[in-house]
Structure 1
Amino acid sequence: MRRARPAARAYTAGMEPISVLIVEDDERFRVAFATSVAEAADMRLAGTAGDLAPGLRLLREQRPDVLLVDLGLPSGSGVELIRYANDHLPQTDVMVVSVFGDEPHVMASLEAGATGYLLKDAQAADLTEQIRTLRAGGSPISPVIARQLLLRLTPQSAPVVDEALLSPQERQVLTLSAKGFSFEEIARMLEVSRHTVMTYVKRSYRKLQVHSKTEAIYEARKLGLVRD
């Protein structure tokens, strides 16, 4: 669950600068973002990292006001950093800056605790203004992403649930996975081997025509096959 945000404060002269940590694996973007932040009088660059491990270390050490994070990092997803900040750093606002604009990535980021989401087609010169907006209590979101969210909220006819699409075991594994249990934990709970659980998972992916756990859970929820 996303934490409640602290009350916003407008920046005025004499206040501490906004500390910003950047986790981005593309050096061109990392340098551009860092330069933009470093040149802003009301901001301080808390550090930069190109992957999860150094990003998490800096996040713990610096406890920044704002975390700018990409999703597609070399060793995993930036969602892990978003979730850590949401769980342990209530003063840190998180904004995703990514090339991924599809709904599964967007929803995974927002559910983990991000309060801003920009696509990398945005101008780097606008970044500092977006950071100020984020820190003042706003939620900067690229127009394409905002449209997706609005369409998601538009009332639609209830889907016709084809429960035969997934077997009871496949639905059970996805339901437990959606609740945050690992595949090893699910195997112990169902008293089956991890290999059996992974067989259910792979069958679910194939039937739902997806390639990841996040996409599978999203599609299964949309079809009414998994309920929270």
Structure 2
Amino acid sequence: MEEGQAAVCRVLLLEDDEPLRQRFTRILQDWPGASLVAACASLGEALPHLRDAGVDLLITDLRLPDGHGTQAIRTLRATNPQAEAMVISVLADDRSVIEAIEAGAAGYLLKDADSIELVEAIEELRAGRSPISSSIARVIVRRLNASPPAPPPPLAAALTARETDILWGIAKGFTYAELAQQLGISKQTVPVHIKNIYRKLEANNRSEAVFEASRRGLIRL
């Protein structure tokens, strides 16, 4: 291979629709950028090829006569994590799209024989992009917008009543000796409580601890 020349992409095609499988087969065979490993009509035919780590790209339908395309994607990812997978399917519902992406698909095109530019989609994948039909992109955006925001990280543990009293005291500027006297505890135990407060609030000093406690509603100043 000459310097600067892209490596030939070893492609496994998994499509049970015979006319479409033949059409994609001709495109791949005519394109010098690809080497067609096999054109399979079922999951059973494809699995041996997926398991021998000789595939760079899987192009798969989802609805197969003996299984589901996500099974093929997961097998590919387990055998060769560097390989890519692209779905071409008539299925555009939220569940199918999300399952395929979670399985490891980097591209998802709707099965519209007139609009699929197979070579262009493969080149996008090889360039690090994700070819996705516009209607599929809308499914993803809608799903993301519907997801509730992530909750704030919880405290490592709730503050004890004693720690809350000490936190209130340091917020008022009391010294260790003053805190110990007011709370009726040993002056040596005050730093121990403060260290625990810092750890629970993920703070490094008094100011950070007071700010974080106030922000979380643990104390009122």
TM range (shorter): 0.5 to 0.7
**Partner residue in 2 for 1:36:** 27
Corresponding position of 1:81: 72
Contact 2:52 2:79 in 1 (8 A): no
Report deviation, 1:90.
1.3
User: Contact 1:52/1:73 (CA < 8 Å) preserved in 2?
Assistant: yes
Q: CA deviation at 1:64?
A: 1.2
The structure showing larger relative contact order (alpha-carbon pairs under 8 Å, at least 6 residues apart) is: 1
SS, match of residue 154 in structure 1: helix
Q: CA 1:156–1:69 in structure 2 vs 1: closer, same or farther (change >3 Å)? A: closer
Q: CA RMSD in A?
A: 2.2
Does the CA-based 8 Å contact 1:36-1:124 persist in structure 2? no
Using the alignment, how far apart are the partners of 2:126 and 2:15 within structure 1?
20
Runs of 5+ unmatched residues, structure 1: 1-11, 159-228
CA gap 1:122/1:26 in 2 versus in 1, 3 angstroms: closer
Q: Identify which of 92, 110, 124 aligns with 1:101.
A: 92
Could you say which structure has the larger radius of gyration? 2
Q: How many residues align?
A: 148
Asked if the contact 1:66–1:135 (Cα under 8 Å) also holds between the matched residues in 2, the reply is: no
Q: TM-score, normalised by structure 2?
A: 0.62
Structure 2: runs of 5+ lacking an equivalent: 150-221
Residue 118 of structure 1: aligned partner: 109
- Give 1:39-188 correspondences, 5 Å limit: 39-61=30-52, 63-121=54-112, 123=114, 126-154=117-145
Q: Are the aligned partners of 1:66 and 1:95 in contact in 2 as well (CA < 8 Å)?
A: yes
Q: If the length of structure 1 is used for normalisation, what is the TM-score?
A: 0.60
Find the residue that maps to 2:11 and give its secondary structure: strand
Secondary structure, aligned partner of 1:95:
strand
Q: Does structure 2 conserve the Cα–Cα contact (< 8 Å) formed by 1:36 and 1:125? A: no
Q: Distance in 2 between matches of 1:101 and 1:76?
A: 18
The correspondence of residues 191-210 of structure 1 with structure 2, limited to 5 A, is none
- Secondary structure of the residue aligned to 1:133 is helix
| Cα offsets for 1:154-176 (capped at 9, x unmatched) | 25779xxxxxxxxxxxxxxxxxx
What do the CA deviations read for 1:44-94 (whole angstroms, capped 9, x no partner)? 111111001111112223621110011111011111011111222112100
Partner Cα separation in structure 2 for residue 39 and residue 123 of structure 1: 18
4+ long deviations beyond 4 Å: 155-158
